[in-house]
Amino acid sequence: MLFTQLFFWAFFSIVLLIYSVVYKVNKVRTAYLLAVSLFFYFKTSGVFVVLLLFTICSDYYWGGQINKTTSALKRKLFLTVSVILNLTLLCYFKYAYFFVDSYNQIADEHLKFFNHFAQFSNTYFSTGFSVDKLLLPVGVSFFTFQSLSYTIDLYRDKIKPVNSIFDYGFFVCFFPHLVAGPIVKAHDFVHQIYQPYKVTKFEFGMAAFWIINGFCKKIVADYLAVNFIDRIFDSPTYYSGIEMVFGIFGYSLQIYMDFSGYTDMAIGLALILGYRLKTNFNSPYKATSTSEFWKRWHISLSTWLQEYLYIPLGGNRKGTIGSYIAISILALFMVLLSGKLWLVLVLMLLAVLLLILAYFFPKIKSSLNTNINLMVTMLLGGLWHGSSWLFLIWGGLNGLGLIIHKQWKKISPFKNADHVGYKIACVLITLTFISFTRIFFRSSSLQTVDTIFYRMGNHFGLDLIFQVIYGYRAVFALMLIGYLIHWIPERHKEIYRNWFARQSYYSIGAMIIFAVFMMYQLMSGEMQPFIYFQF
C-alpha cells in the first residue's frame, strides 16, 4: 500500500471520514487508529502482521515488568530480555539465510535453510510461502527500533508507562511512519497519545504541503531511476565513465528524494491526524562536512544510534566493554561474510598489533579510545541495512570520513574561514565523498563495484560528455533542478511553505490537483516501491 497509489488515498479518505466522528475521545481515537494501522500493515505485509503483534505484546509486557520493580538487577534483566528478543527476531529475518550460507562455506556442508515462520504461516493461515526462502517483513528494522526505545526509555526513567496495550500498539504501529520511518522514539511520541486533538488551519496547510512535496519528490525520483540511474547500476559495462559519474550523483539525488519524500508524506499524514513527527531530513547536501551530513541525513536513525548505541558505548570519551563486544560481533560478521576461517587469525593478529601500539604510543591509544565507538556505530549502521560486504564497506567508509574530519578540524588552516567560496567547495567535496560511498550501497555485488571503478578509470569518455548530456537532457535537467531547489536557503523555503499553508482550502486543493496532474506526466510505468521498504 504505497502513499503514491490511488488505492491508499481512497483508504485514507475513509479513515478520515470515520476519524471525524471519533477523534475527540482519546481512547476511542487510539483504538481506532491502532485497528487502521494493523489493517494497513496487513495490506502491506500480509501474515507478517503476526510478527508485529508479537513485538507489541512482548515489549508491552517487559516494559510493564521494568516499571513495576524497584530492583536494579531485575530492571536490567527485563531490559536485557526485551533487547535480546527484539534483536533475535530482527537478526532472524535479516540474517538467517546469510548465517546458513556462511556456515556451509566455512564447514563445507550443504545444510539447507528452513524458514520456520513460513511453515507456521502455511499451516495456520493457508499461505503458500516457500520454506527454503526467507522473506523480509516490510519495515521490520523501523518498528523494532521504535519498540526498543520504549523499554530503554522506561529503564532510564525518561517516560511513564502507557495506560494500556492498545496505547502501546498504537505507538509502535502508527501507520504513517510504520514501514519506512521516521523512527519514532518513545519519549518523543508517547505523551502525544494523551493530548486532545488540535490542528490549526495553518498546520493543516503545512501538512498538505508536506504531503504534496513528498509526492512530487517520489515521482521525480522514480523518473530518474527508471530512465537513467537503474540502467547504469544494472548494466555498468554498457556505459562510459562519465555516465557512471552522472549516475552516481543522480543516485544521491534519487535516494534523497525517494526516502525524504516518504517521510515528508508521513509527517504530513500524521499531522492531519493530530500527531507531530520530527523532521527526518534537513537539506543534507548543504552539509560542509561528513559530520554535518550525518546530522542532516536520516536524522531519526542517526539520533537513535547516537542515543541508544554510541553514547552508551562511551561516546567519544573511551571504549567500553560494550565497544569490544560490538567489535567482536563485527569481526564475526566479517569472518562469516568471507567464509574463510583464516580471517579469524588475521583479525586476532591485527587486534594484538593495535594493543601493542596503544601500549607504547599514548597518542595511538587516545585516538583508538576516542574514535572506536564512532567506527563501531557506523559499521553497525551499515549492517542494519543488510548482511553484505557492500553495506559493511559503506558504513566503514562513512565512519572513516567522520574520523578524518575530526582530525582535520584540529589542524585545518581554514577552521575559522567564513568565505562563501570555501563553503561551496566544502559542500561539493562532502557531496562527492558521500555519493561515491553510495557506489557500495547501490551496487548489487562487489563485481559491479569493480566494473564501475574500472569504467571510470579506463573508459571515462570525456569526449562524449556533450552527447551524453544531450541524450539524457530531460533526466539531467530534472537532476539540476532538484539540486538547485535543494540548495535554496532555508529561510527562502520557509517563505513559500508558509505562503502555501496560509492559502484557503480551495486554493490549496487547486494547487494539489495541478501538482498531481503535472507529476503524473512523468510517470513511465507502475509506481516503484520506496527504496527503504527493503530495510
Buried b (16+ CB within 10 A) or exposed e, 450-464: ebbeebbeeebbeee
Number of H helices, E strands in the chain: 23, 0
* Alpha-carbon span 271 to 494, nearest angstrom: 18
In order of 346, 354, 367, the CA distances from 357 in angstroms are 17, 5, 11
Residues 319 and 372: beta-carbon distance below 8 Å: yes
SS (H, E, C) 330-395: HHHHHHHHHCCCHHHHHHHHHHHHHHHHHHHCHHHHHHHHHHHHHHHHHHHHHHHCCCCHHHHHHH
Task: Give the torsion sign (CA, 336, 341, 343, 346).
Answer: positive
Task: Identify the residue whose cell numbers are 536494579.
Answer: 72
Residues 396 and 364: beta-carbon distance below 8 Å: no
Residues 6+ away with beta carbon under 8 Å from 131: 114, 115, 118, 119, 122
* Alpha-carbon span 53 to 300, nearest angstrom: 23
DSSP letter, residue 444: S
Is-catalytic flag, 191?
no
C-alpha cell at 443: 551496487
- Of the residues 385, 419, 459, 486, only one is catalytic, namely 385
**Judging by beta carbons within 10 Å of its beta carbon (0-12, 13-18, 19+), is residue 259 exposed, middle or buried?**
buried
SS (H, E, C) 129-156: CCCCCCCCCCCHHHHHHHHHHHHHHHHC
Residues 402 and 258: beta-carbon distance below 8 Å: no
* Alpha-carbon span 520 to 226, nearest angstrom: 14
Task: State which amino acid sits at residue 96.
Answer: A
For the annotated catalytic residues, the residue numbers are: 385
